Amino acid sequence: MTGAGPERVALCNIAKSFGELVAVDDASMSIRRGEVHALVGENGAGKTTLMNILYGLLSRTSGDILLDGTPVAFKGPAEAIRAGIGMVHQHFKLAPSFTVAENIILGSEPLSRLGQLDRLEADRRTRALSQRFGFDLDPEAIVGTLPIGLRQRVEILKALYREAEILILDEPTSVLTPQETRELFATMRSLAANGRSIVFITHKLKEVLAVSDRISVMRHGRIIATTGNSGVSAEQLARLMVGRPVLMRVVKTRAHPAGAAALKVENLTVIGDRGETAVADLSLAVRPGEIVGLAGVQGNGQDELVQCIAGLRRPLSGRIEICGTAVAGREPLDCRAAGLAYIPADRGRVGLSRASRVWENMTLGHQAEFARGPFLAARSARARSAELIRRFDVRGANVDTPAASLSGGNQQKVQLARELTRAAAIILAEQPSQGVDIGAIEAIHRILVEMRDAGRAVFVISADLDEIFALSDRILVIFRGRIVADLTAEETDFEEIGRFMGGIEGPSAGLGRATASSNLDAGDRVY
Amino acid sequence: MISEIAFSAIRISTPLIFAALGGLLTFQAGILNIALDGFMIVAAFASIGVAFATESLLLGVLAGVASSMVLAALLALFNLRFRAHIFIAGIAVTFMAYGLTALLLKGVLNEEGVFSSDRIPTFAPIDIPVIRDIPVIGALISGHTLLVYIAYLCVPVVAWCLYRTRWGLRVRVVGEAEDAAAAAGVNVERLKFETMLLSGLFCGLAGAYLSLGYVSLFAKQMTNERGLIALAAIFFAKGNPYWTAAVALLFGTATALSIRLPQLTGLAPQLLQLIPYVVTVLSLIIVGIRNTRARHRHGVWRFEI
C-alpha cells in the first residue's frame, strides 16, 4: 500500500437533511493523494449522500469542503468535474441507446467547424484513453448492448476523460463477478499509484480490507471512525458499522429435500423487452425443504425468468409447474393460487404500494380472508397486521404507517409477512437483502431458513454471492439465459461460481474466455 | 386533379410540419408538450393583428413568433421552475391562449368569431425558375408562399442540429437519460428551456402561417387541434425529424383529400372530413401495436413518452 500523500479533500462537519430526515449529520473526512479510501456503512448510513455533496449533485445544509486547502462550493457536477472530481454511481448514469464514445464525451465534446460534433475525434480519444488504462472498449459499441462489467468501465473512463484526480466509486463491485472485481481492484490500485485518489463506497468488508489504504466507517450520518487498513478485522468493522456485534452468517443445518419438485421449469425460452432471447431453453427444479440459490451477473435472464414464474411475463415456449400445476403464460393470480409466494426485488413498485399503509399492504393478496361480501373487514385485517408487525419484528411502524416511510429492511419484512403467511409451497425471493441493513439481513435470512426447515421450497435469486453462499443448499449459475452450473453449496467456492458467472467455465466457455473482451461479442444479449 | 390535390396537400401540411418540428424538439428533450395548439393560436392572433395594424407581413410574423415564444417561456416557467406537471401546465396554457385570443378578438378587433380585413397583406406565391419547368414536380413545388418553403427547409436543419451538433447530442441524452446528462455536467434545465423556446418559435411560424399565409383571417380556435395531430406524427415517427415531416405530410394529404373528395365523389362532406382523424387514429393504433409487440409482457402497463 502506498504511503500517505498530501491531503486533497477535507470534508468538515458536513450536514444534510431532507425535510425532517437527517441523512448526513456532522460528517468529517479527509482524502489524500494516491490513496484508496474506503467509505463503509450500512444502507442508509449516508455514504452516497455525503459523496453526492462532494460531487455537487446535492447541496449541503451546513459544513465546509476544502479542496487543496481552498474552500469550495460546487453548484453542480459540472463545477466538481472541472475541479477534478469524478463519480461513478451505483446506478450507472449512462444513456443506453448512445455509443460508448458519445457517453464518454458528453459534457465536454470535441467540435469541428460550425459547432458540429467531431465524431472521429471522439472515437479516437475514447480509443486512446481506453488503451491507456487497459480497458477493452469499442468506442462505437452501443452502451445498452454491453454487459454490466463493461458499462462500469465506460463510467470510469467517463471520469478519467474529464481528468478526474479524485474518483468516487459508489458500490462498484455489486454488479461484478469475483474475477471482474479483482480486475477493478487492480485498476483502482494503479490509478492510486499514479497519484489519483479513490473513494470506494461499499458495505462489503472483505473487499474493503483487500483494496483500501484507509477506511472510514459511517453510521447514522456520521463518520464514526477512520483507520488504516492494517490491524482491523471484518468483525471489528461490522461492529462499528452496526453498533453491536454482528452474526456474519446464518446458522443452518443440512437440508433434507423431500418429495416432488415444488417448482419445475422445463425448456423455458423467454424473449426480453428488446426482442432478445433472454432465457434460452432453461430447466430447473426446486424441491421442498431446500434453498436453491440462482447466482449470475445482473442481466443474464434472471429478471425474465422470475417474471415468468410470477406470471408477469409470457414465455415464448416451455413449461413452468408450481406444485404440479402448469402456470406458464397464466396470470399472477393463477401462479399464487398454485402455491407461489413472490418477494420481488423492486419493493417500491412491484412489491408494495408505497403510498398505502402497512395494513393495506399486508392485506393485499389476502382479501379473500377478510371479504364480507363486497366489503372488507378492515378491523380484523388491521388486527392481523398488528400481529404480523410483532411477529416479523417490523420496526418503526404501526398499521397506519405508509409503506414508503419505512426503511428498506422493514419494507422487506412487510413483504415477507404478507407473502409467507399464505399457504405457499414455493417461495421465490428476489434479491432479498438488497438495500437492507445488516441487522435486518440477519432476520430475513433466518426467516427464509425457517421456511425451508418447515418443508417449503425456497428459490433465491441474488446478484450478491455472499447472500447466495449464506443461504443456499444448492447453487445454480445463470449465464446468458442458461443454467451453466448446478453445484452443492458445500462443495464449491466463490472462485468457481465466479468463473461460471463470467462464462469462463461451463457449456458456453468456448464463447467466453476472458470476461471483458469476450462479452463484447454478446450481440445476442441486448439488455 | 391529382396534382391539384398534391399541391394543396403540401400547403395544408405546412402548419403541421412547423408545429411538429416544435413539438419534436421538446419530445427529444423528454417533455411532452401538449400546448402546441395554445402557442399556435396566440401566434395566429398576434400575427394577423399586427399585420392588420402595420400592414407589414414581416412585423406580423415576428409578432406571432414573439408571442408564441413568450407563452412557451411561461409554460417552461410553470414546468421547470414551479414544477407543475407538464400535462396540467400545458392544458392550462392552451386554455389560457384560447380564452385570451377570444377575448382580444372581441375587445380589440370587436369581432365575435372571425376577423378578416382587406388591409391585411398577403404572401405572394413564389415562382421558382428552372424548377417551375420540370414536368409534374415543377407544378407541385413551385408557386408556394415563402413560409411553405421555410417549413420544408427547416426539416433538414432541425435534423442536423439534433444529430450532428453538441447541442443536439445533449438534448437527446437529456430526453433518454436525464440523470446521465446531469451527472456529466450538462445543464438539463437550460436545455429543456431552450427546446421549449424553440418549440415556441416553430409554433409561432405555424400560427402565423395559419392566419396570414393560409387564409388571411383569424377564427376562434382556428388551429383545429393541429397541435395534437402534430404530436401524433411525432409519436409515430419516434421523434425523427424526417419521418415526422413525412407523417405530417400524410396527415396533410388526408386533409386535402377530405376537402376535394366531396366534389369528386358526391359523398357527404361530413363523412369525408373524418379522413384526417381516422388516419391519425390508425397511425396511433400502429404505434400502440408496435410498442406492445416489443414488450411481450402482460400485467405491466406503462405510459411511455
Interface touch A111/B166, C-beta < 8 Å: yes
List the CATH code of the domain at A261-339+425-527. Answer: 3.40.50.300
Percent of chain B at pLDDT above 90? Answer: 64
Architecture category of domain A7-84+165-242 in CATH: 3-Layer(aba) Sandwich (3.40)
User: Best interface-test mutation with B: which of A92, A93, A158, A277 has the largest number of B CBs within 10 A?
Assistant: A93
Nearest-5° angle of CA A492, CA A498, CA A503? 115
Q: In Å, how far is A443's CA from the nearest CA of chain B? A: 31
Residues of chain A contacting residue B164, judged by C-beta atoms under 8 Å apart: 116-117
pLDDT in tens, B3-19: 888 999 999 999 999 99
Element (H, E) at A275: none
Nearest to A269 by CA among A326, A316, A319: A316
pLDDT of residue A523: 32
Task: Using alpha carbons, select from B27, B81, B20, B48 the residue that is nearest to residue B228.
Answer: B20
> Is residue B304's pLDDT more than 60?
no
Which of B181, B159, A130 is closest to A141 using CA atoms?
A130
Q: Which residue of B has its CA nearest to A112?
A: B165
What is the average pLDDT across B123-139?
85
CA atoms within 13 A on the CB side of B240: 7
Instruction: Name every residue in B having a CB less than 8 A away from some CB of A.
Output: 164-170, 172-173, 176-177, 179-187, 294-300
Q: In this complex, do B299 and A312 lie within 8 Å of one another by their Cβ atoms? A: yes
User: pLDDT by residue (tens digit) across A154-170?
Assistant: 999 999 998 899 999 99
pLDDT means per 10 residues, chain A with 527 residues, are 75 88 88 94 85 92 92 90 91 91 91 86 92 87 86 90 92 84 91 94 88 92 91 86 72 84 94 84 95 91 93 91 92 92 89 92 90 91 94 86 85 91 92 80 89 94 88 94 93 90 70 36 32
- Across the interface, which of B172, B176, B300 has its CB nearest the CB of A312? B300
Contact A93 B300 (CB under 8 A): no
Q: Name the DSSP class of B81.
A: I
Amino acid at A425: A
pLDDT of residue A280: 93
What does the alpha-carbon distance between residue A362 and residue A383 come to, in Å, rounded to a whole number? 11
CB–CB of B183 and A57 under 8 A? yes
User: Quick one: pLDDT at residue A527?
Assistant: 30
Please determine whether the domains at A7-84+165-242 and A261-339+425-527 fall in the same fold group of CATH: yes
Cα pseudo-dihedral A375, A380, A386, A387, rounded to 10: -130
Sign of the four-CA dihedral A220, A223, A229, A231 = negative
Which segments of A394-491 does DSSP mark as H helices, in order? Answer: 408-420, 438-453, 465-471
**Closest-CA distance of chain A to residue B86, Å:** 22
Half-sphere exposure for A282 (CA within 13 Å, toward CB): 34
Residue B76's pLDDT band, with cuts at 50, 70 and 90, is very high
Count the alpha carbons within 13 Å of A399 in the hemisphere toward its beta carbon. 15
Q: How do A7-18 and A474-479 pair as beta strands?
A: unpaired
Residue B302 has a pLDDT of: 39
Whether the Cβ atoms of residue B251 and residue B276 lie closer than 8 Å to each other: yes
The four Cα atoms A170, A173, A175, A180 give a dihedral, to 10 degrees, of 140
Q: Where are the domains of chain A?
A: 7-84+165-242, 99-155, 261-339+425-527, 354-423
pTM: 0.80
CB pairs under 8 A between A and B: 94
Name the nearest CA neighbour of A289 among A472, A459, A475, A453: A453
Three-class SS string for A364-415? CCCHHHHEECCEECHHHHHHHHHHHHHHCCCCCCCCCCEHHHCCHHHHHHHH
d(CA A204, CA A184): 15
What does the pLDDT read at residue A249?
Answer: 66
Residues of B in contact with A305 (CB under 8 A): none
**Which grid cell sits at A499?**
468463473
Quick check: helix, strand or coil at residue A160? helix
Asked if A94's CB is within 8 angstroms of B177's CB, the reply is yes
- Nearest-CA distance from A164 to chain B in Å? 12
User: Between chains, do A87 and B183 touch, taking CB under 8 Å as contact?
Assistant: yes
Do residue B184 and residue A275 have CB atoms under 8 angstroms apart?
A: no
Report the mean per-residue pLDDT for chain B. 90
Among chain A, residues having any CB pair with chain B shorter than 8 Å are 57, 76-78, 81-82, 87, 89, 92-98, 102-103, 106-109, 111, 115-117, 158, 271-275, 307, 311-314, 316, 331-332
